[in-house]
Amino acid sequence: MIGVLARLAQDTGDGILVPAEPIQAGVTQIATPEIQWVALLPHLILVVGGILLLTIASLFRHRVPRWAYTIYTVAVAAGAIIAALPLWVRVQDAERGPFSAIAGALGVDGFSIFITVIICAGVILTALLADGYLKREGIDGPELFVLLLLAASGGTIMASANDLIVLFLGLEILSISVYVMAAMHARRFTSLEAGMKYFILGAFSSAFFLYGIALVYGASGSTNMIRINQYLASPTGVVLSENGLLLGGFALLLVGFGFKVAAVPFHAWAPDVYQGAPTPVTAFMASAVKAGGFAAMLRVFVLTFGTFSGDWQPVVFALAVLSLLVGSVLAIVQTNVKRMLAYSSIAHAGFILVGVEVATEQGTAAALFYLAAYTFMVVGSFAVITVVGRKGDGHHELSDYRGLARRQPVLAFVFTILLLAQAGVPFTAGFFAKFYVISAAVDAENYSLAIIAMVSAVIAAFLYLRIMISMYMSTDSEAVTGEPDRVPVPLAAGIALFVACVVTVVIGFVPGPITDLANDAVPFLVQVG
C-alpha cells in the first residue's frame, strides 16, 4: 500500500502550476483578478448577513427578541434568492450565457443558481423550525442562525466553485459550521456526542479530500476545473501515459464526497449524528448539506472528469447500490423515528447517486429535481419530528407516535403526506423525483441500477408505512392509562410545515415547472475572459 502511494507520489514531478494571469516582470504589486461583484452577490449576502447578525446581537444582546433573529435569517436567505434571480435571467439569456468570475474561481451557471436557491430554501425552512425549538429548549442567542447563514454560504460556494481549492474552502465553511450546530444543544449529552463524532470523522474525511485534490493537481497541473477539464480533454490528457495519480485523486475525492453526502460505506456517522443533533439541525444536514455535497460532486465528476466517466462510474455505481440497499434495509429495523429517517436519507442519497452515475445531462437534471423535491419533503418530515419530540427533544420512539392521528389529526395528516412523498407515492413530489432518476438510468441503458433503485424504494416504503400505521393505530389501552397531551405546534414551525406540504403536493401534480428549471440548470465550465 505504502509502496503504491510512494509510486503515485513520484509522478507529481511533471505537474507544474499554470498561473491564472501572466505576472508582469518588475511589478511589485500582486496581480489581483477582476472581481465580478454581481456574481458574488448571493454568497456575499449570506456571509455578510451572518457576520452582521453576530455583531448586532453581541452589541444588543438582551434587547433583541428571539423572533427577530428568525425573521432576519429568513429575510437574508430570501435576499440571497432574490439576488440570484437576475443572475438566472442572465445565464439563461442566449447571448450572454453562463460565465466564470474571479479569474475562473467561481462559475455562474444555471446549476449553481439552482442549488443556491435550494440551499436558501432549506435555510428559510430550518430557521422557521428552529424558532420554536430554541424557545422550547430554552437556548438563547443568535449563534444557530449565524452558523446557519455561514453554512449556507459554504454550500453555495461549493455549488459554484470552479476551482478545487475554492471548493474545499466552501466545504470547510459548511462543515465547521455544521459541526458546531450539531453540538448546539449543549445541555444534552447526545447533542455534544453528535457534534464531536461529526467533527472527528469529518476532519478525517476532509484530509482524504485534500489529498485527493493534491493528486489531481499532480496529474493535471492545475486545481482549476476549467483547466483540468481542458487538459484531460486535450490529446495529451486522453493518452495520459500514467494515469495513476489522477485515478488516486478520483478515489480520495470520492471518499470525501461520499462522506459528505453519507453514502455507504462512508455513512456510519450519519445515523448517530442525525439522531443526536438538534432536530432542526438534522433537517438542515439532510437537506442543504446534502445539496451542497451533491452539487460539488456533480460539478467535479460529471462535469470536470466527464471524459473519464468510464473510470469512476463503476465506483459511483457501487456507492449508489450500497446506499440504496443498506439505507433502506437498516431503516426498517429501527424503532427510533429520527434514526429511521436518518437511514432513509442514506437511501435517498443512493437515489441521487443514480442520477450522478449516469453522467448525462438528463441524470444531472434528475438529480437536481430530486434535491429540490427532497429538500421540502425532508425538512417537513423533520419539522414534524421536532414538534413531536417535546421538550428535551427526546420523544422520538415509534411508540411516541401512537395515536397521534386521533390527538392531532392535522399534524398526522401532514406527516402522512410527507412520508408518502418520501416513499415516492404518485401525486407527490417524491414520485416524480424517483421517476426522473430511474428514467435517466433507463435511458442510459443502466437497467440493473434502475431495478435496484426500484427494489430499494419498495423496501423503504415499508418503513414509511410503519410510521403511518403507528400514528393511525388505535390506542385503547392508553386511553385507560392516560395518554400524552397534545404537542403544541409553534406558528413558525406550522408555516414551515404548511409550505413543505403544499410544495410537495403541488410538485406532485405539476412537476413541469421544476422539471423545466432543472433542465435549464445545466452546469458549464466557461473559459475565463
Partner 1 sequence: MEELVWLIPTLPLAGFLLLVAFGRRMGEPAAGWLASAMMAGSFAATVVVFAGLFNEPESHRIFTQSLFTWIAVDGFEVSVGLLADPLSITMALFVTGVGALIHLYSIGYMHGDKDFSKFFIYMNLFAFSMLVLVLADNLLLTFVGWEGVGTCSYLLISFWFTDEQNAVAGKKAFVTNRLGDVGFMLGTFVLWTTIGSINYLDIDAAVSAELIAGVTATAIALLFFIAATGKSAQIPLFVWLPDAMAGPTPVSALIHAATMVAAGVFLLVRMSPVLHEAAWANDVIAWVGVITAFVAATIAVAQNDIKKVLAFSTISQLGYMFLAIGTGAYAAAMFHMVTHAFFKALLFLGAGSVIHGMDDRQDMRVMGGLSKFMPLTTITFLVGWLAIAGVPPFSGFWSKDEILASAWAFDSGGAALWVIGLVTALITAFYMSRQVIMVFYGRPHWRDETARTPAPASLSAAAENPGGDGEAELDVDGLARLPADYQPHESPWQMTVPLVFLSLLAVVGGVLNLPFLEELALLENWLEPVTLPHEAGSGAELWALASAATAIALIGIGSATVIYQRRRVSRELVERRLFSKGWYVDIFYSWFTGHPGRRFFDAIRWFDEKVIDGAANGVAGLVRRSGTALRSLQTGYVRNYALGVAFGTVLLLVYFITRIQV
Chain residues binding partner 1 by CB under 8 A are 1, 4, 196-197, 200-201, 204-205, 208, 240-244, 247-248, 250-252, 254-255, 258-259, 265-266, 268-269, 271-272, 311, 314-315, 326, 329-330, 332-333, 362, 432, 435-436, 439-440, 443, 459, 462, 510-513, 515-516, 519
Q: Residue for cell digits 458574488?
A: 40
The answer to whether 284 touches 178, Cβ cutoff 8 Å, is yes
Q: Would you say 31 or 207 has its CB closer to partner 1?
A: 207
Q: Would you say 56 or 459 has its CB closer to partner 1?
A: 459
Please report how close the Cβ of residue 332 comes to partner 1 at its closest, in angstroms. Answer: 6
390 phi-psi bin (left φ>0, alpha ψ -120 to 50, beta other): left
Please report how close the Cβ of residue 240 comes to partner 1 at its closest, in angstroms. Answer: 8
Q: Would you say 92 or 439 has its CB closer to partner 1?
A: 439
Q: Would you say 258 or 523 has its CB closer to partner 1?
A: 258
Q: Cis omega before residue 65 (within 30°)?
A: no
393 phi-psi bin (left φ>0, alpha ψ -120 to 50, beta other): left
Question: What is the Cα–Cα distance from 199 to 180, expressed in whole angstroms?
Answer: 8
Q: Would you say 459 or 522 has its CB closer to partner 1?
A: 459
Strand partners, 106: 101, 161
Closest among 71, 76, 72 to 43, alpha carbons compared: 76
Q: Residue for cell digits 437537506?
A: 287
Please report how close the Cβ of residue 302 comes to partner 1 at its closest, in angstroms. Answer: 17
Q: Would you say 82 or 510 has its CB closer to partner 1?
A: 510
The answer to whether 348 touches 262, Cβ cutoff 8 Å, is no
SS3 240: coil
Question: What is the Cα–Cα distance from 292 to 175, expressed in whole angstroms?
Answer: 11
Please report how close the Cβ of residue 508 comes to partner 1 at its closest, in angstroms. Answer: 11
Exposed (0-12), middle (13-18) or buried (19+): which is 141, by Cβ within 10 Å?
Answer: middle
Question: What is the Cα–Cα distance from 194 to 191, expressed in whole angstroms?
Answer: 5
Amino acid, res. 100: S
Question: What is the Cα–Cα distance from 288 to 290, expressed in whole angstroms?
Answer: 5
Please report how close the Cβ of residue 519 comes to partner 1 at its closest, in angstroms. Answer: 8
Please report how close the Cβ of residue 102 comes to partner 1 at its closest, in angstroms. Answer: 32
Q: Would you say 57 or 326 has its CB closer to partner 1?
A: 326
Q: Residue for cell digits 476549467?
A: 226
Q: Compute how many other C-beta atoms are within 10 angstroms of the C-beta atom of residue 60.
A: 10
Q: Would you say 82 or 455 has its CB closer to partner 1?
A: 455
SS3 234: coil
Q: Would you say 99 or 199 has its CB closer to partner 1?
A: 199
Please report how close the Cβ of residue 100 comes to partner 1 at its closest, in angstroms. Answer: 29
Exposed (0-12), middle (13-18) or buried (19+): which is 30, by Cβ within 10 Å?
Answer: exposed
Please report how close the Cβ of residue 12 comes to partner 1 at its closest, in angstroms. Answer: 15
Q: Would you say 258 or 380 has its CB closer to partner 1?
A: 258
Please report how close the Cβ of residue 178 comes to partner 1 at its closest, in angstroms. Answer: 17
SS3 40: helix
Please report how close the Cβ of residue 179 comes to partner 1 at its closest, in angstroms. Answer: 13
